[in-house]
Copies of this chain bind each other. A is one copy, B any other.
């Protein structure tokens, strides 16, 4: 599935080092997840309405080059691993103009209910599980 998410750097995202602050990348990764689920036909907003949440258990990110105000950034994601309890996702962020790699990251999520207790996604939302399983196999 085509999953590039195009992000225009916001001025507020820069810091006095004149590059985008590192805390912004997890937000871009999340925007890419939102976009991905939308394109998959099962928006994350719908998932939450069905009582399922996907909190982060782990975040890891390597910063290669600073994104700057004026840049457009392409965030790509791929499903690394899916189990009924967990989801692992990989990301890259590239500068659109020259293709430079800006950052690479991974997130590990738990499938939970609204009280943040871990659930079995395969049982609770078999349609969603099947959809994501197909993606993970790619």
Q: What residues of chain A have their CB less than 8 Å away from a CB belonging to chain B?
A: 8, 10-12, 14-19, 21-24, 26-27, 30-31, 34-35, 43-46, 48, 53, 55-63, 66, 68-70, 116
Q: Name the residue among A21, A23, A55, A68 with the largest chain B CB count within 10 angstroms.
A: A23
B15, B63, B66: which contacts A58 (Cβ < 8 A)?
B63
Q: How many copies does the complex hold?
A: 4
> Quick check: B69 and A16 within 8 Å, CB to CB?
yes
Shortest Cβ gap from A63 to chain B (Å): 5
Residue of B nearest to A60 (CB): B60
**Contact partners of A17 in chain B: CB under 8 A:** 53, 55, 116
- Inter-chain CA distance A127–B24, complex, in Å, is 33
- In the assembled complex, 30 residue pairs joining A and B whose CB atoms fall closer than 8 Å, in A order, are A8-B31, A8-B35, A10-B27, A10-B30, A11-B15, A12-B15, A12-B26, A12-B30, A14-B16, A15-B15, A17-B55, A19-B116, A22-B55, A22-B59, A23-B23, A23-B24, A44-B69, A44-B70, A45-B69, A48-B69, A55-B63, A55-B66, A56-B63, A57-B63, A58-B60, A58-B62, A59-B59, A59-B61, A59-B63, A60-B60
- Looking at chain A's contact residues, is the secondary structure mostly helix, strand, loop, or mixed? mixed
Q: Which residues of chain B have C-beta atoms less than 8 A from A10's C-beta?
A: 27, 30-31, 34
